[in-house]
Chain A
């Protein structure tokens, strides 16, 4: 396999980095699009984990890969819905900054 010789830890380090970059982005950015992108990063870091564990621990089974595929599908659907919402928000508020959208607060 392609990954032979690369230890599992490397994958995990990459995915952890990606995960926390995603978390960091999600927590700090106010822009909805950026936040959506951060969520994608988080999802993809999970994907990497799934695939990596699958091939290292159970090379003859496919569950991990299937889960990745499901996540990719869900992420796509989510992105579609989220972008639709964001566009609508933009139309209503002329902004996609999260702290500007506080009409329903309290």
Chain B
């Protein structure tokens, strides 16, 4: 077995950079922080690539299986003799893959931000937070046990909070960061309860034990059940709630569109490529448990994912803000990944969905980061997020245009770009396991092609708008990441994923199923054609179409009013009917009772103090008359 202990440095280097920049950043010129952060990430990325090459190609599968290696592990906090949180590094196919994804995208974002964030106030702070995020995300994927994952889960949440609220003087950014944190926090409650239930039943947090086929979770089929489902199923459903929150699954999705208030590179890194797929990663991490011990929980995952992908795609069609279109597109694609996990079985070719999900996660990270960075370049040029302020940009920004087009074709699933291969595998897996979900996925493929090209045409074609100054291509430091990611988007589809990342660690042969591939390409082309007709040149078709399905159009434009519903529940119900009454109750009942006690004592003593007049004569009067009365009484008694 190879020594992977150096992988510990992959998360630790960004942490060191965070501390360094955070504590001393203000002493230097801002750009120094940028270079330091980028340099740190370069080293981390380099180490990740080495790890990936060693793991997949030099060491390869042992006895036909990729091993799960605990490279580092140390006890961090002990609860009971058997339950303890360890911190460590777990090396297995998905964690290695995630290392590559995270460090690549993060490095690109670091580079890109050197140009994009230039001259911003808080440049050093931005890089400090990026490093913090990279550290947390790397720690998350390398987690050896579920509690370590929860720790870093919270840390990515807070990094996301800090980065969304980067422009902290802007009220909308503050509100968005708050919303993102609270919604995911609410979901994390589910995660935590799930962990508690799971750890109590299995007496371990360790992933290796939890997912091994002879581990407690899979062998202990018996046990208490609640509402017809076993405790394991319930706990896995609760854990999935955590994943759903972080991955913006319906109905916990409302934070993601608002999170676009953050700087665009952040959206590319956190809210497209890495953090939002943490939920998918979580389910994948516990996949054997889901697939074997709790198929019901896995169905929940599948249906939630499928529904979200459709729901988000419908909303994406009508959005005006280009980053929001991309945000809903991200939701939709993550829904795809979840759905794919949901239709997967365990082992060998049954695990096609699992493989496809990870594959799609990988390709999606590349092309979605590319889309966001491209959008950033555009926003940088025209100083607006709205596609109504854009048009005809292809002339001014050729590199951005080409890379954006590549990304759009990739997400639409046009062969031979990477999106085609991964999407195809997902649909193939869905077709074999669940025709309903296949139908949804198929429809979403068409919708995706349509809204992406709507976006594309609105930005790069159509008529020029009145720009404040002529838009110009972004500087090289920003276009290099675009080109790099474009290359990755084109070629990553050719990676032999089924030989590397599989549900049981054993390679298998995946074939392209023509029965799925051809219709999916056709529907993508149909979507693109519609978009071309409607948006390439100014036309009245979109308005007329919107008019003809007014209700649906409005619902989609307003994101089915989910924000309003949540706002109503929190502001009107929780604030007005729980918190205020409690505050009132505390002041006017509990505290008043205490004050009443005090008041009673004071009042009583006020009444009594009249007796203590200080008038000696009064006292003497009482004294003398009492004596007289007593004497008379005694005389009377004695005489009897």
Chain B, 478-511, CB within 8 A of any chain A CB: none
Q: How far is the CA of A23 from the CA of B628 in the complex (A)?
A: 12
Q: How far is the CA of A27 from the CA of B613 in the complex (A)?
A: 15
Of chain A, the residue at the smallest CB distance from B618 is A27
Question: Is A99 in contact with B615, judged by CB distance below 8 angstroms?
Answer: yes
Asked if B614 is at the interface of the complex by the 8 Å CB criterion, the answer is: yes
Give the residue of A26, A102, A104 whose beta carbon is less than 8 angstroms from that of B617.
A26
Known: A23-B624, A26-B620. A98 touches B609 (CB 8 A): no
Chain A, 47-95, CB within 8 A of any chain B CB: none
Question: Is B614 in contact with A104, judged by CB distance below 8 angstroms?
Answer: yes
Q: How far is the CA of A27 from the CA of B617 in the complex (A)?
A: 5
Question: Is B624 in contact with A27, judged by CB distance below 8 angstroms?
Answer: yes
Residues of B within 8 A of A27 (CB): 617, 620-621, 624
For B, the interface residue count at a CB cutoff of 8 angstroms equals 9
**A94-106 toward B: CB 8 Å interface, digit per residue (1/0)?**
0000110010111
Asked if B616 is at the interface of the complex by the 8 Å CB criterion, the answer is: yes
Interface SS of chain A: helix
- B549 → A minimal CB distance (Å): 83
Chain A, 13-37, CB within 8 A of any chain B CB: 23, 26-28, 30, 35
Residues of A within 8 A of B609 (CB): 106
Of chain A, the residue at the smallest CB distance from B627 is A23
**B599-628 toward A: CB 8 Å interface, digit per residue (1/0)?**
000000000010001111100110010000
Most buried by B among A27, A98, A102, A105: A27
Of chain A, the residue at the smallest CB distance from B617 is A27
Of chain A, the residue at the smallest CB distance from B614 is A105
- B383 → A minimal CB distance (Å): 76
Residues of B within 8 A of A105 (CB): 613-614
Question: Is A98 in contact with B616, judged by CB distance below 8 angstroms?
Answer: yes
Of chain A, the residue at the smallest CB distance from B610 is A106
Question: Is B617 in contact with A98, judged by CB distance below 8 angstroms?
Answer: yes
Of chain A, the residue at the smallest CB distance from B616 is A98
Residues of A within 8 A of B620 (CB): 23, 26-27
Residues of A within 8 A of B613 (CB): 105
Q: How far is the CA of A23 from the CA of B624 in the complex (A)?
A: 8
Give the residue of B614, B621, B624 whose beta carbon is less than 8 angstroms from that of A102.
B614
Q: How far is the CA of A64 from the CA of B369 in the complex (A)?
A: 119
Residues of A within 8 A of B617 (CB): 26-28, 30, 35, 98
Q: How far is the CA of A98 from the CA of B614 in the complex (A)?
A: 10
Q: How far is the CA of A7 from the CA of B620 in the complex (A)?
A: 32
- B503 → A minimal CB distance (Å): 86
Residues of B within 8 A of A28 (CB): 617
**B283-313 toward A: CB 8 Å interface, digit per residue (1/0)?**
0000000000000000000000000000000
Q: How far is the CA of A30 from the CA of B616 in the complex (A)?
A: 10
- B620 → A minimal CB distance (Å): 6
**B338-375 toward A: CB 8 Å interface, digit per residue (1/0)?**
00000000000000000000000000000000000000
Residues of B within 8 A of A99 (CB): 615
Residues of B within 8 A of A104 (CB): 614
- B266 → A minimal CB distance (Å): 70
Q: How far is the CA of A68 from the CA of B569 in the complex (A)?
A: 93
Q: How far is the CA of A71 from the CA of B620 in the complex (A)?
A: 21
Q: How far is the CA of A98 from the CA of B613 in the complex (A)?
A: 12
Q: How far is the CA of A98 from the CA of B619 in the complex (A)?
A: 13
Q: How far is the CA of A98 from the CA of B33 in the complex (A)?
A: 86
- A35 → B minimal CB distance (Å): 8
Most buried by A among B617, B620, B621: B617
Give the residue of A23, A26, A98, A106 whose beta carbon is less than 8 angstroms from that of B615.
A98
- B121 → A minimal CB distance (Å): 65
Q: How far is the CA of A27 from the CA of B621 in the complex (A)?
A: 6
Of chain B, the residue at the smallest CB distance from A26 is B620
Residues of A within 8 A of B621 (CB): 27
Residues of A within 8 A of B614 (CB): 102, 104-105
Q: How far is the CA of A62 from the CA of B505 in the complex (A)?
A: 124
Residues of B within 8 A of A23 (CB): 620, 624
- A78 → B minimal CB distance (Å): 15
Of chain B, the residue at the smallest CB distance from A28 is B617
Residues of B within 8 A of A35 (CB): 617
Interface residues of A (CB under 8 A from B): 23, 26-28, 30, 35, 98-99, 102, 104-106
In the assembled complex, 9 residue pairs joining A and B whose CB atoms fall closer than 8 Å, in A order, are: A23-B620, A23-B624, A26-B617, A26-B620, A27-B617, A98-B615, A102-B614, A104-B614, A105-B614
Name 15 extra pairs, CB < 8 A, besides A98-B616, A98-B617, A99-B615: A23-B620, A23-B624, A26-B617, A26-B620, A27-B617, A27-B621, A27-B624, A28-B617, A30-B617, A35-B617, A98-B615, A102-B614, A104-B614, A105-B614, A106-B609
Interface residues of B (CB under 8 A from A): 609, 613-617, 620-621, 624
